[in-house]
């Protein structure tokens, strides 16, 4: 008798929830059906489980494309004088281009963790490429994939290099996770590096055309709603070379010298990745899914290319952390350019809002919807970090640039502080409006601006007092070494 009474109460509770859902979300017929079925099941079984309504599936598909190592100012839609990005330019004309988007780190795993969690590094926990701890995204951190998978989206990731692999915890929430490390040699320049040890680049990366082939295969077989992440790596270094005809278009003659050739190859790689973006967008259009998909293209960081006496990345000047960010939202504006400062942590809340999916409890980012719709909003400040000293993968950089051992950046649209906690007197302050290339350090001349940004930095409390964990994770170290990823 008691069991039946409880069952009746459960039915009542379930019906109350159902009525609430009806008022809150009249569009979701399938969720209502699922909730009704759950109520019936509870009533019949007298089970003590609380009746939870099933989540309603997201209303749109999601395609996030992350460009590794791609400087905003090397893309034609960001003003570059070579036509390196015709497909991204067209997407920007058809959507929204953010002119001042700041990445939270110029290091692949740290930056990607912020993009997909909407959290600052000190909150998601990925701070370095490698140490005993602090390099893996904890399973309990909600990400775009875990959130949308729980809502019923089909999720897949097609990636091009080891630094976004499951080693760093990026596989959570994906039904299909293709890390790009299957060692298929075709189309890849297999370069045998020699040094402290030998390694083959094809074991840790693949070219963008191969990644795109796999993503297109999956798209063709997958019903909606889906959440697809595609990651491209080509511009990261000189290992993945585009086909000869693309190279010839951008490469200067050998007489131009090594670094001019390197820079030309970079343009060729950026262009080749853009061709792959075009293939993905064409597929969405052919499948009539272009208008029902939230499309985001963003870079994880830029590349030095000789600026500030640095050719690669990890540090925090604008060529490193100002990234391209282009979005197209179903029903959203076309051809809008947003000059305000935004952060890559704002991407996750923006996507979820477009999908009418609740954001996670903790978020450091803020949805960009207001800016997208042309409303005036309180301005943002952006944080970025480089913890070179505690990254066992950054020994070379530490030797070359000892002053860059620990860098914490706080910036607004006009002013930027690069703070060195171990040597505050060597910190840098730039007035970006007057000095966008950061050549005139005003740290000593403008103490009030420096103090203002430092106070904001201290509020975020990103400082690290010592190494991440004790010793090394030997298994992880061996794995990294086999892929050529230990820079000692
Ligand atoms: Zn990267």
DSSP code string of 175-242: SEEE-S-S---TTS---EE-SSS-EEGGGTB--HHHHHHHHHHHHHH-PSSEEEEEEE-GGGSSSSPP
Q: How much distance in Å is there from the Cα of 147 to the middle of ligand 1?
A: 24
- What are the distances in angstroms from CA 488 to CA 300, 393, 396, 467? 24, 7, 6, 16
Listed in sequence order, the residues at least 6 apart from 5 whose beta carbon sits closer than 8 Å to its beta carbon are none
CATH number, span 383-482 = 3.30.1120.10
- What are the distances in angstroms from CA 281 to CA 88, 223, 230, 293? 10, 17, 12, 10
Q: How much distance in Å is there from the Cα of 58 to the middle of ligand 1?
A: 29
Helix (H, G, I), strand (E, B) or coil at 318: helix
The reported pLDDT for the residue numbered 123 is 98
Q: How much distance in Å is there from the Cα of 303 to the middle of ligand 1?
A: 9
Q: How much distance in Å is there from the Cα of 299 to the middle of ligand 1?
A: 8
Q: How much distance in Å is there from the Cα of 344 to the middle of ligand 1?
A: 14
Q: How much distance in Å is there from the Cα of 21 to the middle of ligand 1?
A: 42
Q: How much distance in Å is there from the Cα of 114 to the middle of ligand 1?
A: 12
Q: What is the spatial distance between Cα 309 and Cα 133, in angstroms, rounded to a whole number?
A: 31
Phi, then psi, of 328 in degrees rounded to 5: -130, 125
Q: How much distance in Å is there from the Cα of 208 to the middle of ligand 1?
A: 14
Give the rounded distance of the alpha carbon of 439 from its chain centre. 28
pTM (2 decimals)? 0.87
Q: How much distance in Å is there from the Cα of 68 to the middle of ligand 1?
A: 4
Instruction: Using DSSP bridges, classify how beta strands 407-411 and 382-386 pair: parallel, antiparallel or unpaired.
Output: antiparallel
Full pLDDT tens readout for the chain, 488 residues: 333 232 333 333 333 333 333 333 333 333 333 333 333 333 333 334 455 666 788 889 999 999 999 999 999 999 999 999 999 999 999 999 999 999 999 999 999 999 999 999 999 999 999 888 999 999 999 999 999 999 999 999 999 999 999 999 999 999 999 998 875 544 555 444 444 334 455 668 889 999 999 999 999 999 989 999 999 999 998 888 899 999 999 999 999 999 999 999 999 999 999 999 999 999 999 999 999 999 999 999 999 999 999 999 999 999 999 999 999 999 999 999 999 999 999 999 999 999 999 999 999 999 999 999 999 999 999 999 999 999 988 888 999 999 999 999 999 999 999 999 999 999 999 999 999 999 999 999 999 999 999 999 999 999 999 899 887 777 777 777 766 676 54
- What are the distances in angstroms from CA 107 to CA 73, 78, 164, 196, 348? 18, 22, 11, 23, 19
Burial zone of 200 (CB within 10 Å; 0-12 exposed, 13-18 middle, 19+ buried): middle
- What are the distances in angstroms from CA 338 to CA 99, 118, 371? 6, 20, 7
Helix (H, G, I), strand (E, B) or coil at 439: coil
Q: What is the spatial distance between Cα 134 and Cα 153, in angstroms, rounded to a whole number?
A: 30
The reported pLDDT for the residue numbered 55 is 75
Q: 427: alpha, beta or left, given left = phi > 0 and alpha = psi -120 to 50?
A: beta
Whose tokens are 């960081």? That residue is 301
Exposure b/e, 380-402, CB count within 10 A at least 16 = b: bbbbbbbbbbbbbbbeebeeebe
Tokens of 425: 């007197």
Q: How much distance in Å is there from the Cα of 49 to the middle of ligand 1?
A: 45
DSSP state of 161: B
| Rg, the chain, Cα only | 24
Q: How many residues does the chain have?
A: 488
Q: How much distance in Å is there from the Cα of 134 to the middle of ligand 1?
A: 17
The reported pLDDT for the residue numbered 472 is 73
- Taking domain 61-380, whether its CATH number is 3.40.720.10 is answered by yes
Q: How much distance in Å is there from the Cα of 59 to the middle of ligand 1?
A: 31
Q: How much distance in Å is there from the Cα of 233 to the middle of ligand 1?
A: 8
**Strand ranges across the sheet with 382-386:** 382-386, 407-411, 415-419, 428-431
Q: How much distance in Å is there from the Cα of 348 to the middle of ligand 1?
A: 18
- What are the distances in angstroms from CA 146 to CA 150, 196, 300, 366, 469? 6, 39, 20, 19, 27
Q: What is the spatial distance between Cα 264 and Cα 256, in angstroms, rounded to a whole number?
A: 10
Contact (Cβ atoms closer than 8 angstroms) between residue 98 and residue 343: no
Q: What is the spatial distance between Cα 9 and Cα 39, in angstroms, rounded to a whole number?
A: 10
Q: How much distance in Å is there from the Cα of 415 to the middle of ligand 1?
A: 25
The reported pLDDT for the residue numbered 474 is 77
Name the β-bridge partners of 226.
154
Domain spans of the chain? Answer: 2-45, 61-380, 383-482
Q: How much distance in Å is there from the Cα of 160 to the middle of ligand 1?
A: 11
User: Taking the CB of residue 453, how many other CB atoms lie within 10 A of it?
Assistant: 22
Q: How much distance in Å is there from the Cα of 163 to the middle of ligand 1?
A: 8
Q: What is the spatial distance between Cα 198 and Cα 191, in angstroms, rounded to a whole number?
A: 10
Q: What is the spatial distance between Cα 20 and Cα 32, in angstroms, rounded to a whole number?
A: 10
């Amino acid at each position: 008798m008691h069991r039946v009474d409880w069952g009746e109460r459960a039915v009542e509770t379930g019906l109350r929830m159902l009525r609430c859902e009806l008022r809150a979300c009249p569009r979701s017929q399938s969720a209502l059906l699922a909730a009704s079925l759950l109520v019936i099941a509870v009533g019949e079984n007298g089970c003590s489980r609380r009746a939870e309504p099933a989540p309603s599936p997201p209303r749109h598909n999601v395609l996030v494309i992350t460009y590794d190592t791609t400087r905003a100012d090397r893309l034609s839609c960001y003003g570059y004088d070579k036509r390196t990005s015709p497909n991204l330019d067209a997407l920007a004309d058809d959507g929204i281009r953010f002119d001042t988007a700041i990445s939270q780190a110029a290091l692949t795993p740290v930056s990607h963790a912020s993009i997909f969690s909407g959290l600052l590094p000190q909150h998601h926990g990925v701070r370095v490429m490698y140490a005993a701890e602090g390099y893996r995204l904890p399973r309990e951190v909600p990400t775009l994939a875990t959130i949308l998978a729980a809502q019923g989206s089909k999720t897949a990731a097609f990636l091009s290099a080891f630094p976004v692999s499951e080693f760093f915890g990026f596989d959570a929430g994906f039904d299909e996770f293709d890390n790009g490390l299957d060692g298929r040699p075709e189309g890849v320049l297999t370069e045998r590096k020699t040094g402290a040890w030998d390694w083959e680049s094809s074991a840790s990366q693949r070219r963008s055309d191969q990644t795109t082939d796999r993503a297109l295969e999956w798209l063709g077989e997958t019903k909606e709603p889906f959440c697809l992440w595609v990651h491209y790596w080509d511009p990261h270094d000189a290992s993945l070379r585009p086909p000869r005809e693309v190279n010839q278009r951008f490469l200067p003659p050998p007489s131009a010298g090594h670094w001019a050739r390197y820079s030309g190859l970079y343009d060729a790689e950026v262009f080749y990745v853009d061709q792959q973006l075009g293939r993905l967008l064409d597929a969405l259009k052919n499948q009539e899914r272009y208008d029902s998909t939230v499309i985001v293209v963003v870079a994880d960081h830029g590349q030095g290319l000789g600026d500030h006496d640095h050719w690669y990345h990890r540090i925090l000047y604008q060529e490193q952390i100002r990234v391209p960010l282009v979005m197209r939202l179903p029903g959203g504006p076309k051809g809008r350019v947003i000059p305000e400062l935004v952060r890559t942590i704002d991407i996750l809340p923006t996507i979820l809002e477009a999908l009418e999916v609740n954001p996670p409890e903790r978020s450091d980012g803020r949805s960009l919807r207001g800016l997208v719709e042309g409303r005036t909003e309180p301005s943002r400040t952006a944080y970025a970090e480089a913890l070179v000293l505690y990254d066992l993968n950054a020994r070379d950089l530490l030797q070359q640039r000892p002053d860059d051992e620990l860098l914490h950046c706080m910036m607004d649209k006009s002013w930027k502080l690069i703070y060195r906690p171990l040597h505050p007197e060597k910190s840098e302050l730039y007035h970006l409006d007057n000095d966008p290339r950061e050549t005139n350090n005003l740290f000593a001349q403008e103490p009030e601006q420096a103090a203002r940004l430092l106070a904001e930095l201290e509020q975020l409390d990103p400082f690290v007092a010592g190494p991440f964990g004790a010793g090394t994770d030997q298994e992880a170290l061996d794995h990294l070494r086999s892929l050529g990823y230990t820079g000692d």
